[in-house]
Structures are given as structure tokens and as C-alpha cells.
Structure 1
Amino acid sequence: MPDRTLPIRTTAAVALVATGLLLTACGTTPKPDAPAAPKRTTAPAAPEKPAAEAAATLGGPGTACALPVSFALAKGWKPEAVKDPENPEFAELTRQGPAVMRCEVDAKPTGNIGYLRVWTVAKGPARTALEGFVKAADQPSAVAYRETRAGSLAAVEVTYTSHGELTDETKEQRAFAVATPKGPVVLVHLGGLDTDEHRAMLPAYELAKSTTKAL
């Protein structure tokens, strides 16, 4: 004779099903379990670029470029004075708007393709000089100015994009300008082959800006 006794677990399951049917028949639907609260996740912070190591000073007596200001050069960057910058034959290379290029600091020894270039403007407010410089750039766009400090000096800084002829693409640029006690406005510009190169060289630019001093 077969055993008609249901196992305890089966009996319990049947009872629960019956209860559910009874509740449904009475117009009461069991409430579903509340969904689990989503776990909060924190996006990892973008890694900060390490500060550039200062290796030399540019602009003072005995340095590669005679300038109305001095600032610290990042390790590996190679400065060179621009020869005969006032010569009109070289104007296409040494002039941009009201600014005349006085010094180029090459990043190639560090593995990057770009320059810190130092320009001077004969006179005028730093903001006016910087605006004239940017307007003369290649198709400038997304131009944004802000008041800042360059070392202990009041400064104006600009970020913008321009169209690169070699890469045929838009790339980031930036520069800061200070008015010196002796008259000329000094403008320090960071370009780069493209935006990636520009961003890789920012620590050297920030080092120069944070250490600028009038001579």
C-alpha cells in the first residue's frame, strides 16, 4: 500500500499555496518584496598630474633669454632666445597680433612636442595685449579669460582652441600675461602639437606661472 503521507516540506508548500489562493480569492494580493536599495558607488577621482620639477630659472642675468620677468623652468625643457625678432622678414614667425616672440622653451627633450613661448608687447594693459594676441591666432574659439596671479603679480589668463594646420584638427591653447613695472607686457603661451600634448605639458606651464617675478 503506497505511503500517502506528504513530506513536511511539501505539506508546508501546499499550505502556503492554498493560503495565497485564499487571499487572492478574497481580493487581497500579497505585497511583493521591496526592491533592494541600489548600492552607492563613488567614481574614482581623475589622477592629478604631478607637479613639474624646477631645474633652472629663465629671464634673469646670465640665462638663455633676457626678459623683463623670470620664472622657473621644468626639468629637461631647453630655452633658446629668438634671434632678431624685430626683423620684418621674420614677422610671420615672430609676431602674433601686438606681441613679439622673445624666447622659445622646447619640450622635446622631455618627450613631448611643444613649446613654452615668451612674447612681449610694448605697452598697454595685460588684458588688452592678451586679447590682441588671441584674435591673431588660427581660428580661435571657446575663448575664456580670467583674472589670476602669476607668482606675486596680477595676471590675466586665457584658454582657447585653435585649428592646427599640421593635424587639421582643433587643439587647446592657453597663455597668461602680466604687466611689468618697467612697461612691457610679458605673455607666456603654451601650445602643443595637439590637445594631448598640450595637456601633458601643463605642469611645466603651471610651474612657470606660479614662479613668475618682475625683474
Structure 2
Amino acid sequence: MRHHIRARALAPALAVVAAVGVLAGCGSEKAPTQDVKEAPVAAGAKAAASLGEPGTACVLPVSFGLAADWKPKAVRIDEGDELAAALGKQGPATMVCEIDAKPAGNIGYMRVWTAPGAATRTALEGFVKAEENSTKVAYKETKAGALPVVEVTYTVYNEIMEESKEESAFAVSTPKGTVIVHLGGLDTEEHREMLPAYELARSSVKAL
């Protein structure tokens, strides 16, 4: 975990979180699809709990392992609140759960989105295309356990930080639609430090 955060960038970012409760981008993506390039990551994370089943903080169409100290909470979008509705939707997807990494020592979230009535790749492409300032987009089709998974890595230009940062997401198909699990982060360093928790979710995901 890093012990320094640029105060001028962190303060406005946290203010947005406090005011709205969700963070998401909207816009258009113009970069061509590329091959996935693996980024260096920290050692793997072990599951401290499971998320998604009835009785957990977020009841989802899937379940997956949750890394220690990551704190999930369900997200319900108030359609009457235009700002919250705009931030809680990205392309075809609606945010349903957000998992806070701050108790585990990082600045960032892993968020779960659902997109009804769309093929997995189509839903994920629509999600990324709606991310403002996204570039270097790379898709990969693979498996997580027995489930087929579509993964994507890309970069987003962060105007607050005045730099590009890495982001990752994977999507799986379920009888209730496509589920997208997205990992952001304050910057690329934070993102890479959180990747083990994301990889844990991807490798342990199961349809319910």
C-alpha cells in the first residue's frame, strides 16, 4: 500500500464520492481493439468471504470470492435523481453493487453492473464505449472456472490527476443477463495494487 496520496487530486475525488455515492463515466471510446497486455501485479489474494448469494451485502446473479477487508454495499439507483441515475448507468449497464477497497488500504472500488438482454461481448463493448476518454482497449475471451468470460483492459484519461490510468473489467452471461465486474482506482499504481482482489473475483465467479 502506498503511504502518499496527492492531496490536490484526492480531495475533489472523495468529495464526488460523498456527494453522489457512485462513480461512473459516460462518453465515447474511439480506440481500436488490441491484444491484451498483462500488467505486473502483486501476489494473489485469498477469499475472506463470498459475495452474491442471498444473505450477503449484494445479492447478484453470480457469486465470487471477496478479498479481506473489501467492504461491499448494494447500490440502488434513484431514477428520479438525474445525477445519480447518470452516474449509476454506463452504456447498457446499471450499477448494482460497489466494493470499497479503502478498508484494505487502497483508494478505489470494484463495482458490479448488470445489463439485461445483451450478449456478453456486446454488453461489455457498450460499457467501455460509454467510458469517457477510454483508449488502448483490449478484449480477451477466456474462462473463469467453467464459465466463459470476456475480459477487457483499457486506459482512461483522468482530468483531475492529469494522467491516464489503467482499468479492467470482465463480463459473464447469466440467465438474468450479463454481469460486468469493473475495477478502477485513483491511478494506475492503485489499480495494480488492487488487481489481486479483482483476479480473485474473476477466477472464482459462479452463476447462481
Q: 2:157 aligns with which of 163, 177, 181?
A: 163
Matched, 1:209 2:202: yes
> Deviation at 1:151?
2.8
> Deviation at 1:207?
0.1
* Counterpart in the other structure of 2:62: 69
* Counterpart in the other structure of 1:198: 191
* Counterpart in the other structure of 2:139: 145
> Deviation at 1:163?
1.1
TM-score, normalised to structure 2's length?
0.77
Q: More relative contact order in 1 or in 2 (CA 8 Å, sep 6+)?
A: 2
* Counterpart in the other structure of 1:50: 43
The percent of aligned pairs where both chains have the same amino acid is: 63
Deviations 1:64-123, CA, capped at 9 Å, x for gaps: 011100000000100000123555622221001111000000000011001100000011
Counterpart code for 1:103: C
* Counterpart in the other structure of 1:117: 111
CA distance in 2, matches of 1:104, 1:48: 22
Residue 201 of structure 1 aligns to a residue whose secondary structure is: helix
CA distance in 1, matches of 2:56, 2:158: 31
Question: Retained in 1: the 8 A contact 2:121–2:150?
Answer: yes
> Deviation at 1:183?
3.2
Question: Retained in 2: the 8 A contact 1:126–1:156?
Answer: yes
Say how many residue pairs are matched.
169
Question: Where in structure 1 do 4 or more consecutive aligned residues deviate above 6 Å?
Answer: none
Question: Retained in 1: the 8 A contact 2:91–2:127?
Answer: yes
Question: Retained in 1: the 8 A contact 2:49–2:67?
Answer: yes
Deviates more, 1:109-118 or 1:81-90: 81-90
Question: Retained in 1: the 8 A contact 2:42–2:192?
Answer: no
* Counterpart in the other structure of 1:82: 75
CA distance in 1, matches of 2:122, 2:200: 24
Unmatched tracts of structure 2, length 5 or more: 1-38
TM-score, normalised to structure 1's length?
0.75
CA distance in 1, matches of 2:106, 2:160: 16
Counterpart code for 1:173: E
Residue 190 of structure 2 aligns to a residue whose secondary structure is: helix
Matched, 1:135 2:146: no
Residue 196 of structure 2 aligns to a residue whose secondary structure is: helix
Q: CA RMSD in A?
A: 1.6
* Counterpart in the other structure of 1:184: 177
Residue 63 of structure 1 aligns to a residue whose secondary structure is: coil
Deviations 1:178-212, CA, capped at 9 Å, x for gaps: 011x1310000000000000000000000000000
| Residues 157 and 48 of structure 1: CA distance in aligned 2, closer, same or farther (over 3 Å) | closer
Question: Retained in 2: the 8 A contact 1:138–1:164?
Answer: no
Residue 125 of structure 2 aligns to a residue whose secondary structure is: helix
Residue 129 of structure 1 aligns to a residue whose secondary structure is: helix
